[in-house]
Amino acid sequence: MAVHEAFERLFPESTAQADFGNQLLRFRDARGTFSSALAKASTETMMPCEWWAMYRVDTPALQLLAVRVLAQTVSSSPCERNWSTWSLIHTSKRNRLAYEKLQKLVYCHYNMKLRERQLRVDRDMEENQDPLDLLSIGNMTQIGDDDEDPLYE
């Protein structure tokens, strides 16, 4: 069954694998929290992720798989970026590259761009950081009336 293969690939050392089959059957056969009339009726009116948030209680292993499935990208943007990188490397002058070598170059180039973007984000966060003097916070006096407030002096 493909769902078992997917679960094994996503969670190879997971202790949840032992109970996964039982939880899958519970979901498929609508037993436990999935058996209520409200759970069945709400499948027509609720978004899948909202429905799952309501009725996932009995199935923690299945929940892991559902979160991973529902978190999948639903656009072609990542594929387009990969094809763009592929076309940068595989030009008319370099069309004799072996497929394996081309694949490795695309992988390295794409990950290099991801790394550069992460470094840029980290650098921007450091520049925009407003450091607090935590030691002076503990020494602040209790503020009462406006007359006693050091800011109003």
**Spans of the chain below 50 pLDDT:** 145
Distance CA 68, CA 63 (A): 9
Q: Is there a single domain that holds both residue 51 and residue 9?
A: yes
Which burial class, exposed, middle or buried, applies to 143 when counting CB atoms under 10 A from its CB (0-12, 13-18, 19+)? Answer: exposed
Q: DSSP states of 3-53 as a string?
A: HHHHHHHH-TT-TTHHHHHHHHHHHHTT-GGGGSHHHHHHTTTS-HHHHHH
148 domain-assigned? no
Q: DSSP states of 55-69 as a string?
A: H-TT-HHHHHHHHHH
137 domain-assigned? no
pTM: 0.44
Distance CA 34, CA 58 (A): 9
Instruction: Give the structural domain span for 13.
Output: 2-70
20 domain-assigned? yes
Q: Is there a single domain that holds both residue 8 and residue 36?
A: yes
118 domain-assigned? yes
Structure confidence at residue 132 (pLDDT): 63
Q: Is there a single domain that holds both residue 62 and residue 89?
A: no
Structure confidence at residue 8 (pLDDT): 80
Q: Is there a single domain that holds both residue 48 and residue 92?
A: no
Q: Is there a single domain that holds both residue 101 and residue 86?
A: yes
Give the number of domains in the chain. 2
Distance CA 127, CA 116 (A): 17
53 domain-assigned? yes
34 domain-assigned? yes
Which of 70, 103, 119 is the last residue in one of the domains?
70
CA dihedral 48, 49, 55, 56 (to 10 degrees): 120
Q: Is there a single domain that holds both residue 90 and residue 61?
A: no
